[in-house]
Structure 1
Amino acid sequence: MALLFFCFITVVACDQKEKVKDETVFKVVKTTQPIEVDGILDEPVWQKSEIQSFNYFFDVEKPSDQQKTMFRMLWDETNLYLFYECEDQFITAKEKIRDGAPYLDDCAEIFLIPIPEPAKMHYGIEVNLFKTSNDFIYFNDFYNGEFASAKGFNPDIEIAFTINGTLNDNSDIDKGWTMEMAIPIKSFLGVDKFYPVKEGSKWKFLALRQDRNEIAGERRIASTNFPTNKDVHDPNVFGLLEFVKPF
């Protein structure tokens, strides 16, 4: 029986390694030059970063709801750097209280699991165009099948954005907005002992955008860089990133 159990565990482990090996991997390039967080793609290293489009939409009610988003990511020994480029005809934001509901606004989001396999928890960061953040540690099955969010996770994120249009004014047609973030690696202190931020490490992640086009109400459209089942907190729909050396 012990031998059978050992063989079963070995097969499961090998199968998991094959899944990780075969999965499409988003390459996060290391930067050796300083990054100024200003919402502008003006450092040459950004042109070497991989780009992902958010091609998976839900809660779409009209063709104009499907607006383009491009996502980039870099890293160094201090930070993870994120950059979102978003086309947007109606730029909207309301929430100004930290750990409130910026996800009901035009909002950039990232969910991170600092290991290369699905886990029943992830770090979440959601930021709107007032730089209002909702940052949390999400537990999928915290107690009696219920999820919970630990809102005491408040990393010192550096945020900048640009707007090409007018905020909260739907009398005109806007062009879009950008958002750039620097997330300190020390935010993951303790759990990073398994797969630290270094060349070759892989993490599970999901990048998202909330797109709000009406000032009244709470309707918004979500888009992601990987296909989901509408439960964006399901770790099984997360993709894979790998920290790689400079090109």
Structure 2
Amino acid sequence: MNRITLGALALVGPMSVTPVAMAQETRQVPPPLHYAVHHVSTPPAMDGRLDDPAWSKAEWTSDFVDILGGSAPTPKYKTRVKMLWDDKNLYIAAELEEPNVHAKLTEHDSVIFHDDDFEFFIKPVVDGESYYEFEMNALNTTWDLFLNKPYRFGGKADNSWEATGLKSAVHVNGTLNQPDDTDRGWTLEIALPLNSFASRQQVTLPGNGTTWRINFSRVEWLPGHEHEENWVWSPQGVVNMHVPEQWGYLDFRK
């Protein structure tokens, strides 16, 4: 079965992954990871470079692993994330090792995972069924989506949701779309407004001790491979990002 992201399931329909299939294909994985995100008074500038002093207050996550976890092969290229927050935004920074940074999609709400991309999935109402997804490529082209519930339970993708006020930026450490040289990779920054969920559900603003669910995915199209790779922070145990119970925990700290 192909490695499936939210957008892919939106194209093929919710019947592509049934509860029975999920049960058969899920591997045993360790408990979901935790990340303590610290509050800052001065936010980082959104330029994609990650050299802002604010980022020195944030720890890197562990390196991404294959979506299946366990004994699955180690990803070919390194990926890691760090986060901060203030009273207005959740800030996400990512570092993606890549010897040939390339992207072609330029239209907002394109199917971004047709390029190499970076994705996050976030569930601010932990006891509810709904959640949000955001994808971006090295051209800083973005796609934001809302899911009322996971596909395997009949969920529908809502492309009309917009993360109003979101800011993102990319810095390429090399040359974009130049395959005849070797790049080091690309870095990105995202500022996600904490009130951007309001058009779909009421979300209480986080405080010290609040916990949300979150996970990150990197889609990589390796030359000569039939299918894309999915590398993630907290392994899913199944080729499906839409199993929120396997996502990591985002623990807000002041």
Aligned equivalent of 1:107, options 100, 111, 117: 117
1:43-122 equivalences under 5 Å are 43-58=52-67, 66-117=76-127, 119-122=128-131
Kindly indicate whether the alpha-carbon contact (under 8 Å) linking 1:85 and 1:179 is maintained by their aligned counterparts in 2: yes
Aligned counterpart, 1:192: 203
* 1-structure distance, mates of 2:247, 2:65: 13
SS in 1 for 2:186: strand
1:15-30 equivalences under 5 Å are 24-30=33-39
Aligned counterpart, 1:10: none
Structure label with greater radius of gyration: 1
Aligned equivalent of 1:221, options 216, 223, 229: 229
Cα shift at 1:51: 1.2
Gaps of 5+ in 1: 1-21
Kindly indicate whether the alpha-carbon contact (under 8 Å) linking 1:69 and 1:85 is maintained by their aligned counterparts in 2: yes
Cα shift at 1:43: 2.5
Kindly indicate whether the alpha-carbon contact (under 8 Å) linking 1:108 and 1:179 is maintained by their aligned counterparts in 2: no
SS in 2 for 1:188: coil
Kindly indicate whether the alpha-carbon contact (under 8 Å) linking 2:48 and 2:189 is maintained by their aligned counterparts in 1: yes
Kindly indicate whether the alpha-carbon contact (under 8 Å) linking 2:96 and 2:187 is maintained by their aligned counterparts in 1: yes
Cα shift at 1:130: 1.7
Aligned counterpart, 1:131: 140
Kindly indicate whether the alpha-carbon contact (under 8 Å) linking 2:61 and 2:80 is maintained by their aligned counterparts in 1: yes
Gaps of 5+ in 2: 1-30
SS in 2 for 1:147: coil
CA distance 1:79–1:126, change in 2 (3 Å): same
Question: Which amino acid in 1 is paired with 2:116?
Answer: D
1:103-182 equivalences under 5 Å are 103-117=113-127, 119-141=128-150, 145-155=153-163, 156-182=165-191
Aligned counterpart, 1:34: 43
Kindly indicate whether the alpha-carbon contact (under 8 Å) linking 1:89 and 1:213 is maintained by their aligned counterparts in 2: no
Kindly indicate whether the alpha-carbon contact (under 8 Å) linking 1:54 and 1:68 is maintained by their aligned counterparts in 2: yes
Kindly indicate whether the alpha-carbon contact (under 8 Å) linking 1:54 and 1:226 is maintained by their aligned counterparts in 2: no
- Aligned residue pair count: 216
* 1-structure distance, mates of 2:93, 2:54: 12
Aligned counterpart, 2:9: none
Aligned counterpart, 2:252: 243
* 1-structure distance, mates of 2:181, 2:212: 41
Kindly indicate whether the alpha-carbon contact (under 8 Å) linking 2:43 and 2:54 is maintained by their aligned counterparts in 1: no
Kindly indicate whether the alpha-carbon contact (under 8 Å) linking 2:235 and 2:246 is maintained by their aligned counterparts in 1: yes
Kindly indicate whether the alpha-carbon contact (under 8 Å) linking 2:77 and 2:96 is maintained by their aligned counterparts in 1: yes
Using the size of structure 1 for normalisation, the TM-score is 0.78
Kindly indicate whether the alpha-carbon contact (under 8 Å) linking 2:115 and 2:221 is maintained by their aligned counterparts in 1: yes
Using the size of structure 2 for normalisation, the TM-score is 0.76
Kindly indicate whether the alpha-carbon contact (under 8 Å) linking 2:39 and 2:84 is maintained by their aligned counterparts in 1: yes
* 2-structure distance, mates of 1:35, 1:124: 22
Runs of 4+ aligned structure 1 residues displaced above 4 Å come to 216-219
* 1-structure distance, mates of 2:184, 2:145: 31
* 2-structure distance, mates of 1:210, 1:58: 10
* 2-structure distance, mates of 1:170, 1:219: 20
SS in 1 for 2:148: strand
**What is the RMSD of the two structures over their aligned residues, measured on CA atoms?**
2.5
Identity within the alignment, %? 29
